[in-house]
Amino acid sequence: MQVLKFGGSSVATAENMFRVLNLAEAAARHAPTVVVVSALGGVTDALIAAGRRAAAADGSYRDLLRELELRHLEAVRGLLPLTGQSAALSLIKTNCNELESLCDGVFALGELSARTLDRLVGYGELLSSRLVAAGLGARGTAHQWLDSRQLIRTDARYGHATVDFAATNPLIQAAATGEVALYVAPGFVAGAPDGTTTTLGRGGSDYTAAIFAGALGAEKLEIWTDVSGMMTADPRLVRAARPIARISYQEAMELSHFGAKVLYPPTIQPVMKSGIPLWIKNTFAPEDAGTLVEVAPPANQAFVRGISSIGPVALLRLEGSGMVGVPGFSRRLFAALAREQVNVILITQSSSEHSICVAVSTPDADRAQHAADQEFAAEISSGLLDPLDREDELAIVALVGEQMKNHPGISGRMFGALGQNGVNIRAIAQGSSEKNISTVIRQQDVRKAINVLHETFFEATTRQVNVVVAGVGNVGRKLLEQLARQQPWLREKLRLNLRVVGLANSRQFVLDENGLDLTNWEAALAAGPALDLDQLTTSLLALNLRNTVFVDVTASPTVAQTYAGLLARSVAVVACNKVAASSEYAQYARLKALAQEFNTQFLFETNVGAGLPVIGTLNDLLRSGDEVQRMQAVLSGTLNFVFNNYDGTRPFAEVVRQAQAEGYTEPDPRLDLTGTDVARKILILAREAGYPLEMPDVENDPFLPAACLEGDVPAFYEQLAAHEAHFKGLYDAAANQGKKLRFVASFENGQARVGLQSVAPGHDLYSLQGKDNAVLFYTNRYVEQPLVIKGAGAGAEVTASGVFADVLRAAH
């Protein structure tokens, strides 16, 4: 004997019902089979609505009933040949007339009792099972319709009746003897001792099937639905969710209790008792393997079998010094909640016994709060307890797996993954059976949390990183090129699915949570709305994507102002823009502190030396206990290029223009030529070395005539040309001594300086080529010979690669 149950979607239309008939007949060829059916998809809700409308004196219940009748009549016409329709059509008519009389009575009384509601909703399964039976009859398949109301005996708790197995099992055994190969029975409905219809709770058709399977000692129970098994996570939230091949009864029960709607939780009990294998199969893809629920499934490497979520829930906290060491508080709390029929989903109590926290589903929260406040009114008014604290819009996300038991580190990985993504955990519960680790988090974080956990436990293969790039000029454009080129390699070698989900320039922005096509980003950006940084960051945060990195490749102070808000939501910030790290010390320190507080990263390696590993090296020295005594550096690619290429044969202004054209200067080249950019860099290095300097503390000895700084950039170039003799003079003075001009930054004894120097051959800074930078670190360990970092210190390609490296650091 075997039992197959078909859900509402499987019998929703005549076309679907043909599949059910085929599957049922195929099963019956193998062994005698009981087929249990749900109501046609949506019918139970419509019946409840009709009853409620009637009770509320709303005559539109008749429209609903008419629609239901039409739907069933249509199913008959689709399912049965013309000649065989009349009996089924009149059966539907009769049932629908009964339904109408029932609702008319409710309308007249203005009252819908639980008992009447059960009778009303039971028609859904009665009709659908009659339809399936008629379909089998029309195909000449021998079968027998069983009335579950006569076989499943329950108490009179209408709406959620309790089964009397001692009475039920013999009745089922006597009815389904195996004399015919196929039995059809309505799910959900049962009978009270007085013969009235009861129901087994929403989703109760699964339970009906399990009751049949248990009573008959079936070789298997198959639950046929519209998904290919129990999934590792809710597929509506996690694209990478996949069916679980095999799972234990306990795990399936945990998962279905916590939101995996594919199985009604009580279903498992009757089959678990006798170890009957339970299959979850897809009516629309019967060839898919589905999920086998069994006693001892094989171990899996992740230790976690699935991730579930339920929400919205509310968290209620009872707290106060009066609770400590006083027995009976929890008993009173739970008794009060039970009196109000509030189902407690999760409980935590700190070992200090100072507070008890319970999660209840949001629709129960008002009753729960009221019940607890009343129960403890005296203690609250005398100050022994605080008034009950309530938090709404929360959800529970849980890891489920029997193998988690005795495997250390799983909760650590869970909390770490959530923390890194700014998901705050409001409460935690883990039973000592270690089958379930539950966290209470904000409802709005659920999608992100489940995806992060799914990646952590089921997709060891790939980690998704979501990047937004603000600034697509010189460096930003190169960065996008490099990202596009490297995406396949990152996926293959580092298991990183690095997607650009947003772009902005000074005019427009675009955000696409599915990731932008990097071969066509210009068109996407051009089609985006006008730039509104607030809207960009608000929309980005609203998307609440996991592992998000915001990359600033502008030179804009306004963009730099967005960092704090992003970091505070655990979005990593990679800044090529030097504005933030060289702003007031308090702001620089605040951003670093925010990154630490919210478990994310604020990285700005390219602020000094472009793609050279200057800040990273300095930090490595400091972390390993070294101390910086002195720094000496050439930190401007532009100025080094200019002084390496200027010898008076071409005008100074022309060489500066060339540096700008080659992408070495700041968007405003005056920042380079005034030494401001170098001052920013030595300031950042000093701060990283532990000195809280401000910009005015950096001594800047400018070499530009003051007139060059009056007016805009074109005027600046004109003034450079006008002061050609000044620049030639500087060059000649150095060259006549066999020296080279270098714009040098230094830091010693807490003092930072920048200025033009003539450097003699043999000096570490003499032989720098082109746009090179060099940084010399003199430390406790590098005393005589400095640690030297040298190489191209400007240019889009190298800078973009430095930004890229920061993005990868942030991603990890």
Ligand X SMILES: N[C@@H](CC=O)C(=O)O
Q: What residues are annotated to the active site? A: 681
Helix, strand, or coil (residue 619): helix
Q: Cis bond leading into 286, ω under 30°?
A: no
- Work out which of 653, 794, 800, 807 binds ligand X, going by CB under 6 A: 794
Which residues in 793-812 contact ligand NAI (CB under 6 A)?
794-796, 799
Tell me the closest approach of the beta carbon of residue 510 to ligand NAI, in angstroms. Answer: 12
Place of tokens 């339920």: 310
Tell me the closest approach of the beta carbon of residue 577 to ligand X, in angstroms. Answer: 10
559 binds, among ligand X, ligand NAI, none (CB under 5 to 8 A by kind): ligand NAI
CA distance 28 to 6: 15
Cα torsion angle, 591, 593, 597, 600, sign: positive
- Work out which of 1, 76, 99, 553 binds ligand NAI, going by CB under 6 A: 553
Which residues in 558-587 contact ligand NAI (CB under 6 A)?
558-559, 576-578
Tell me the closest approach of the beta carbon of residue 432 to ligand NAI, in angstroms. Answer: 53
**DSSP3 helix / strand / coil % (the chain, rounded to 5):** 45, 20, 35
| CA–CA distances in Å: residue 100 to residues 104, 191, 246 | 6, 22, 45
664 binds ligand NAI (CB under 6 A): yes
Instruction: Give residue 721's identity as a one-letter amino acid code.
Output: A
Q: Which is nearer to ligand X, 455 or 672 (CB)?
A: 672
380 binds ligand NAI (CB under 6 A): no
Which residues in 434-473 contact ligand NAI (CB under 6 A)?
470-473
Tell me the closest approach of the beta carbon of residue 312 to ligand NAI, in angstroms. Answer: 37
SS (H, E, C) 774-798: EEEEEECCCCCCCEEEEEECCCHHH
474 binds ligand NAI (CB under 6 A): yes
Tell me the closest approach of the beta carbon of residue 759 to ligand X, in angstroms. Answer: 18
The residue range among 150-158, 393-401, 521-529, 634-642 that interacts with ligand X, by the rule CB under 6 A, is: 634-642
Q: Which is nearer to ligand NAI, 293 or 470 (CB)?
A: 470
Tell me the closest approach of the beta carbon of residue 678 to ligand X, in angstroms. Answer: 8
Instruction: Give residue 457's identity as a one-letter amino acid code.
Output: F
CB of 288 closer than 8 Å to CB of 423? no
Cβ-closest position to ligand X: 638
- Work out which of 196, 506, 645, 700 binds ligand NAI, going by CB under 6 A: 506
Q: Which is nearer to ligand NAI, 214 or 471 (CB)?
A: 471
CA distance 601 to 465: 14
- Work out which of 664, 717, 727, 804 binds ligand X, going by CB under 6 A: 664
Total number of residues that touch ligand NAI (CB under 6 A) = 31
Quote the tokens at residue 431: 């039973």
**Roughly what angle, to the nearest 10 degrees, separates helices 724-735 and 713-722?**
60
Cα torsion angle, 388, 389, 393, 395, sign: negative
Quote the tokens at residue 726: 């000044």
- Work out which of 135, 637, 675, 802 binds ligand X, going by CB under 6 A: 637
The residue range among 33-41, 111-119, 531-539, 663-671 that interacts with ligand X, by the rule CB under 6 A, is: 663-671
- E strands, 22-81, in order: 33-37
The residue range among 329-337, 374-382, 594-602, 664-672 that interacts with ligand NAI, by the rule CB under 6 A, is: 664-672
291 binds ligand NAI (CB under 6 A): no
Per-residue string for binding with ligand NAI, 759-798, x by CB under 6 A? Answer: -----------------------------------xxx--
The residue range among 329-337, 463-471, 587-595, 631-639 that interacts with ligand X, by the rule CB under 6 A, is: 631-639
The residue range among 377-385, 620-628, 635-643, 762-770 that interacts with ligand X, by the rule CB under 6 A, is: 635-643
Burial class (CB within 10 angstroms; exposed 0-12, middle 13-18, buried 19+) of 678: buried
Longest dimension (CA), the chain: 117
525 binds ligand NAI (CB under 6 A): no
| CA–CA distances in Å: residue 157 to residues 77, 338, 463 | 37, 16, 49
475 binds ligand NAI (CB under 6 A): yes
Query: 773-792: b or e for each residue (b if 16 or more CB lie within 10 Å)?
Result: bbbbbbbeebeeebeebbbb
- E strands, 102-218, in order: 144-145, 182-186, 189-191, 197-199
667 binds, among ligand NAI, ligand X, none (CB under 5 to 8 A by kind): ligand NAI
Tell me the closest approach of the beta carbon of residue 595 to ligand X, in angstroms. Answer: 22
Per-residue string for binding with ligand NAI, 735-764, x by CB under 6 A? Answer: ------------------------------
Per-residue string for binding with ligand NAI, 616-655, x by CB under 6 A? Answer: ---------------------x------------------
Comparing CA positions, the residue from 48, 40, 72 lying closest to residue 121 is: 48
The residue range among 78-86, 103-111, 145-153, 661-669 that interacts with ligand X, by the rule CB under 6 A, is: 661-669
CA distance 594 to 568: 6
774 binds ligand X (CB under 6 A): no
Helix, strand, or coil (residue 250): helix
SS (H, E, C) 423-445: CCCCEEEECCCCCEEEEEEEHHH
Which residues in 552-611 contact ligand X (CB under 6 A)?
610
- Work out which of 217, 383, 667, 738 binds ligand NAI, going by CB under 6 A: 667
CB of 391 closer than 8 Å to CB of 441? no
531 binds ligand NAI (CB under 6 A): yes
> For residue 177, how many other CB atoms are within 10 A of its CB?
12
H/E element, 396: strand 389-400
Instruction: Give residue 682's identity as a one-letter amino acid code.
Output: I
Q: Which is nearer to ligand X, 555 or 573 (CB)?
A: 555
Tell me the closest approach of the beta carbon of residue 699 to ligand X, in angstroms. Answer: 19
Comparing CA positions, the residue from 567, 302, 563, 541 lying closest to residue 420 is: 567
Comparing CA positions, the residue from 12, 676, 520, 607 lying closest to residue 283 is: 12
H/E element, 316: strand 306-319
CA distance 449 to 311: 13
The residue range among 42-50, 353-361, 452-460, 665-673 that interacts with ligand X, by the rule CB under 6 A, is: 665-673
CA distance 651 to 653: 5
Tell me the closest approach of the beta carbon of residue 801 to ligand X, in angstroms. Answer: 13
Helix, strand, or coil (residue 473): coil
The residue range among 84-92, 274-282, 323-331, 633-641 that interacts with ligand X, by the rule CB under 6 A, is: 633-641
CB of 639 closer than 8 Å to CB of 660? no
636 binds, among ligand NAI, ligand X, none (CB under 5 to 8 A by kind): ligand X
Query: Which strand ranges, in their side-by-side order, compose the sheet holding 427-430?
Result: 344-349, 355-361, 306-319, 389-400, 436-442, 427-430
32 binds ligand X (CB under 6 A): no
266 binds, among ligand NAI, ligand X, none (CB under 5 to 8 A by kind): none
- Work out which of 282, 554, 638, 779 binds ligand X, going by CB under 6 A: 638
138 binds, among ligand X, ligand NAI, none (CB under 5 to 8 A by kind): none
Tell me the closest approach of the beta carbon of residue 538 to ligand X, in angstroms. Answer: 30
Quote the tokens at residue 432: 């000592």
Tell me the closest approach of the beta carbon of residue 677 to ligand NAI, in angstroms. Answer: 7
Q: What residue ranges bind ligand X (CB under 6 A)?
A: 610, 636-638, 664-666, 672, 677, 793-794
**Contact residues for ligand NAI, defined by CB under 6 A:** 470-476, 504-506, 531, 553-556, 558-559, 576-578, 606, 610, 637, 663-664, 666-667, 794-796, 799
